[in-house]
Chains A and B, each alone.
Chain A
Amino acid sequence: MKHPLALLVALLANLACTSTRVVDPHVWRATPGQAAESIPGPLKNFGSFDSFSDALKAACPLILSKPNASVGHLLEQNPELALRVSTEYCAWLYYTPEHKYELSMLTDQEEPGDALHGAASCLLPPNVDDPRYTPTSIQYIFLLHNHPFAMEPSERDIHLATAMANAHGLVAQAGNRKVPLAVVAFFSSSRDAQHATCDGFYQYIPATSELLKWHNTENTWRKEKLGEVKWISPTRFIIMRE
């Protein structure tokens, strides 16, 4: 071998550049450089539910258990690090022709341009690809994600819910009841880095303009109305607080 050192350097460089990220079987990512139109569903081993409330209760701890889904424990020690590592996961909760609520796979794919200002956001494809059903037979109920800093719904959440309501409808027919499409943001107020508890979620419902905060304390759920979103132009809104 003429250049054993060069070969070693190349090998080490290759190792350094190889991603060591463990693939989470719950997390799906689109092919790099492609904007996917659909996310696969359902999420295996999650279950199907008769009510969306039960599905929310199950999805909240699952999503918050993912790496860096909650960074409240880092905020006081190192806010810059908290911002850098915070990760958002998102998924669709949808209603099937078999009258069940199911969850799509999760994705942590970021929007292009996120890195510039170090803020996480999750790029959720607008549709679910569940091979058991035709695309038009699926009802889109909740756009689920986590807020690593436990913040209220953001401008993006409000606009995203509006865009998805325009795409899929403000109201879904789920069996014999109607359910409003909404964006849901789970949060944890835990300081334990290893165990992010499901402490509740924010919900914005375009059909009623409601901005809600749900508190979960020892499996008792309470609803607090924060206010209503009022649109002052097609692209701008204000929040009328309670």
Chain B
Amino acid sequence: MKMHRVSLALAVSLLGCGYLRGLFPHPVPVEEDRSIVFPRFFDQRPVQVGARSEPYEMDGEMLRALVIASNDYIPPDASNLPCPSRREAQFYRVIRQGGIIFVYIYENHAYCGRPYPVRHSGGKYAIGQDGRILRRLIGAQPDHPVERETPDGGNGLSAEPGVSSEFDALWNSSRDGSTGPSSPPLPPRAPTGHGWWCLNAPTARAAGTRAPVTFRPRPSSRARRPPSSS
């Protein structure tokens, strides 16, 4: 009995000391390999883990990369965080390219009942096969130097700033006094539970591309009734 108590106490102590967390130590040394270019995380339709009842599987390197990135972005010992900064209020999007796992952690603003995110961007991580953070970008940091505008033109057509010819063709082209296209490009109304809706119908997945995977916290009673953000 005494031995059992000692074992229990030891286990609790190890947990309290973050021994298990030590399997994926924090903080992980961060390198700044500027030759690494992050993929565009929003150019492909992601596969949402857990969206269906079928099983999903990931290897240990993928799990380790997610844990390392997550622990770096939101330190495990951080407490009393506002809702948008909490671990469960993020999306986790991953793309594996060669020997690098790219992780993008960004706000799931709907979890906190907000119509739009607090921050512009989250954290982008490039994790090597050995678990090192090869590159990290936080917030709006670009992954490449800002290109200077050149006077010799480049991309684009000359136009008055802010004018959308596509919009004008639909809404301002009629000469008979009508007030817009017969079938305006208004979005379908899709209630989300917070009074907001999307502006466009869902579209088909872009063909020929490897889709990133999004890990999303499972809906819970907290998701339906978000905690205070104060």
Contacts and interface: CB of A to CB of B under 8 A. Distances in A.
Q: Do A and B come from one complex?
A: yes
Contacts of A86: 140
A188 to B, nearest CB: 8
Interface in A180-210: 180, 182, 184, 187, 189-191, 199-201, 203, 205-210
Interface stretch (B5-13, B21-29, B107-115, B126-134): B107-115
Contacts of A170: 186-187, 199
A167 B20 CA distance: 47
Contact of A53 (B110, B163, B206, B230): B163
A214 B162 contact: yes
A114 interface: yes
Given A162-B196, A177-B172, A217-B153, A53 B161 contact: yes
B201 to A, nearest CB: 8
B221 to A, nearest CB: 19
Given A117-B123, A178-B172, A163 B196 contact: yes
Contacts of A220: 158
Interface string B195-230: 011111111001000000010000000000000011
A154 B149 CA distance: 21
Contacts of B206: 238, 240
A75 to B, nearest CB: 6
Q: Which of B45, B73, B160 has the most CB of A within 10 A?
A: B160
A114 B202 CA distance: 31
B16 interface: no
A216 B150 CA distance: 9
Contacts of A206: 187, 199
Contacts of A30: none
A229 B156 contact: no
B142 A154 contact: no
Q: Which of B106, B140, B190 has the most CB of A within 10 A?
A: B140
B157 interface: yes
A232 to B, nearest CB: 5
A117 B162 contact: no
Contact of A150 (B40, B81, B142, B154): B142
Nearest to A53: B160
A237 interface: yes
Interface string A153-186: 0111101101101100011000001101010100
Interface residues of A, number: 84
Contacts of A205: 164, 167
Given A113-B85, A119-B140, A155 B42 contact: yes
Interface of B: 40, 42-46, 73, 81-82, 84-85, 106-110, 115-123, 138-142, 145-151, 153-164, 166-167, 170-172, 179-180, 185-187, 190-192, 196-203, 206, 214, 229-230
Interface of A: 51-53, 56-57, 72, 75-76, 79, 82-83, 86, 111-114, 116-121, 142, 147-151, 154-157, 159-160, 162-163, 165-166, 170-171, 177-178, 180, 182, 184, 187, 189-191, 199-201, 203, 205-210, 212-218, 220-224, 229-241
10 contacts: A53-B162, A112-B82, A159-B116, A166-B197, A205-B167, A208-B185, A210-B167, A222-B157, A223-B159, A239-B43
Given A209-B185, A238-B203, 13 more contacts: A113-B82, A113-B229, A119-B120, A121-B119, A142-B162, A148-B140, A210-B166, A214-B162, A217-B150, A222-B159, A233-B198, A238-B206, A241-B43
